[in-house]
Homo-oligomer: A and B are copies of this chain.
Amino acid sequence: MLSSSLIEELKPLFDPNSVAVAGASRTPSKVGHLVVRNLQRLGFRGKIYPVNPKGGTILGLETYERIDLIPSRVETVIICTPAPKVVEIMQQCAKKGVKAAIIVSGGFSEEGEDGRKLEEAIVKIAKSAGIRVIGPNTTGVLNTASGFTSSWFGDVPMLKGSVALIAQTGNFAGVLFEYIMTNRLFGLSNIIGLGNKCDVNETDALEYVMEDPRNKIIMMYLEGVGDGRRFLDVAKRTARKKPLIVLKSGITETGKRVALSHTASMAGDDRIFNAVCAQSGMIRVEGFEELVDLAQALALLPLPRGKRVAVADWSGASCVISSDTMMQIPNGLEYAELSTRSLDRLREVTPSWHRISNPIDLTPAIQSVGPDRAYEAVMDVLIEDENVDAGLVSIAAFEGNDPDLRAFRRNIEKPILFSVIGNNVVMAKTTEELRRIGYPVFPFMRRAMIVLHRMYQVSRVIRQE
């Protein structure tokens, strides 16, 4: 299929003009209520038609008994009913000429033979009626630009941004979304929970988000990949243009078994997936924590232009540990040789008995001139030294020793990552202020170092080194 016609076909799933919600409910805790509420909250500009056999109104909107009884055109349907009702609703969709359906309901192929048969019936209707389907068994989509969503998330601040999230599993995409938004880590553009992938799969979703110029970074959580060859092709084209980071589970036999019962995914051979990553330039991470850490850094910072890092650490111990972390990763980062000008700048704040080297142990400078002047000098060096491609700065957050945050001016030339550890009140305050300036912050230096290493990997893919 040509990309342009795929994008055209999938558009109703992400940016429709009108949507019906089958299984819409007046009960505030029900998914069928939350979806309608969220469409309203997000300011979805299209028409919303709640469908409920009992009639009446839901959240001020008139309801309809069936999809095919809605008097106007319906581009897309969100289905939240119990599984056994979904086939009938899909038949109504076909009759109505609906273009796309997002099936939130669970109870299909992830639940064994009966569910698998239900899912097959749905696919048959969809195919013959030309309806594209996301799901079943997913929260579906959230598009921060158009305000379109099929998700049940809570009342959270909405940070619009340039990071797309494609997840095998809608539930986790939803929780991750709330985690990212409420901690104000970075802004999101498209969130897509694939669920059982009876029609639209990870490759379709990836192709769609790649084509959307709003998306600058793409994060994926996958349990299985269907059409390996096509996925590799699309991943290759994507990763050279936009950072593409992926968490792939179902690595072990037990993990594969669990994935099968979760989203009916065939996890495949993990070595093959690693080969796909190596060939395409997709960056593979371990665990959700690393996925979020890296997406945050990529969303906030420019990519490093090279591998030369300067580290300034309040703690010598943390210098040693981050050095180990840096050197244990092959083909990775190295310490920058600081320029004479940088060494002079650091000497201004450092007692003469201390030998300055990189990593920069800041304790003597802080004890000598205080944290404000010490960190100011460090930021000068990290930003201005042309031998430095990236910086890591560690701050000990304790009463009376945290630096004035004015020392940490914004820069857009090179990535600088922060680690803040200590007293929880000072940690929270310093972390929040650094995030407001636009820096990513991690509690431990080792985590920041792992993220910076991955950023360097991304930069090599983009530069096609």
Residues in chain B near residue A427, CB distance under 8 A: 179, 182
Least Cβ–Cβ distance between A269 and chain B, in angstroms: 14
A314 CA to B175 CA in the complex, in Å?
Answer: 10
Q: Which chain A residues (89-140) contact chain B, with CB distance < 8 Å?
A: 106-107, 111-112, 114-115
A414-465 residues with Cβ-Cβ distance < 8 A to B are 421-425, 427, 443-444, 446-447
Query: How many angstroms between the C-alpha atoms of A398 and B156 in the bound complex?
Result: 10
Residues from chain B with Cβ under 8 Å of A314 in the complex: 171, 175
Query: Looking across the interface, which residue of chain B has its beta carbon closest to that of A287?
Result: B446
Interface residues of A in 246-293 (CB under 8 A from B): 247, 249-255, 257-259, 261-263, 286-289
Which residues of the partner chain B approach A42 to less than 8 Å between Cβ atoms? none
Q: Which of A176, A255, A446 has the most CB of B within 10 A?
A: A255
Contact call A288/B172, Cβ cutoff below 8 A: no
Indicate which residue in B83, B153, B250, B425 contacts A398 across the interface (CB closer than 8 Å).
B153
Find chain B residues with CB under 8 A from A261 CB. Answer: 355, 357, 361
Contact A167 B317 (CB under 8 A): yes
Check A164 for interface membership: any CB of B closer than 8 A: no
A327 within 8 Å of B (CB atoms): yes
Please tell me if A142 contacts chain B, counting CB pairs below 8 Å: no
Q: Complex formed: what's the CA distance from A257 to B182 in Å?
A: 41
Please tell me if the beta carbons of B106 and A254 are within 8 angstroms of each other in the complex: no
Please tell me which stretch of A50-58, A231-239, A318-326, A381-389 contacts chain B, meaning at least 4 of its Cβ atoms lie within 8 angstroms of it: A318-326
Q: A171-B314, A183-B424, A288-B318 are in contact. List 8 more A-B contacts (CB 8 A).
A: A106-B363, A115-B353, A169-B316, A171-B363, A178-B398, A179-B424, A252-B328, A287-B325
User: Contact between B254 and A171 (Cβ–Cβ < 8 Å)?
Assistant: no
A259 touches B320 (CB 8 A): yes
A444 to B289, CA, bound (A): 7
Does A71 touch B at the CB level, under 8 Å?
no
Q: Which residues of B contact A154 (CB under 8 A)?
A: 398-400, 423
State A115–B351 Cα separation when bound (angstroms).
Answer: 14
Which 10 A-B pairs have CB atoms at the shortest separation, nearest pair first?
A262-B316, A252-B327, A154-B399, A255-B324, A182-B424, A172-B317, A169-B317, A287-B446, A249-B320, A255-B323
Instruction: For A399, give its contact among B155, B167, B169, B315 (CB under 8 Å).
Output: B155
- Which chain A residues numbered 334 to 355 have a C-beta less than 8 Å away from chain B? 335, 351, 353-355
The reply to whether B444 and A251 contact each other, CB–CB distance below 8 Å, is no
User: Once the chains bind, are B447 and A289 in contact (CB under 8 Å)?
Assistant: yes
Stoichiometry, as copies per complex, reads 2
Q: Which B-chain residue is minimally distant from A185 (CB atoms)? A: B424
Residues of B with C-beta under 8 A to A327: 252-255
Contact A423 to B182, CB < 8 A, known contacts A153-B398, A154-B398, A443-B289: yes
Interface string of A67-90 (1 = CB under 8 A from B): 000000000000000010000000
Tell whether A316 pairs with B263 under 8 Å between CB atoms, given A178-B422, A424-B183. Answer: yes
Complex: how many Å from CA A423 to CA B334?
37
B251 with A324: CB separation less than 8 A? yes
Q: Is the CB of A318 within 8 A of B252?
A: no
Which of A253, A328, A353, A355: most chain B CB closer than 10 A?
Answer: A353
A68 CB, min distance to chain B CBs, angstroms? 27
Asked whether A161 is an interface residue with its Cβ less than 8 Å from the other chain, the reply is no
Task: Give the distance in Å from the alpha carbon of A447 to the alpha carbon of B288 in the complex.
Answer: 10
Min CB–CB distance A272 → chain B (angstroms): 16
A354 to B172, CA, bound (A): 19
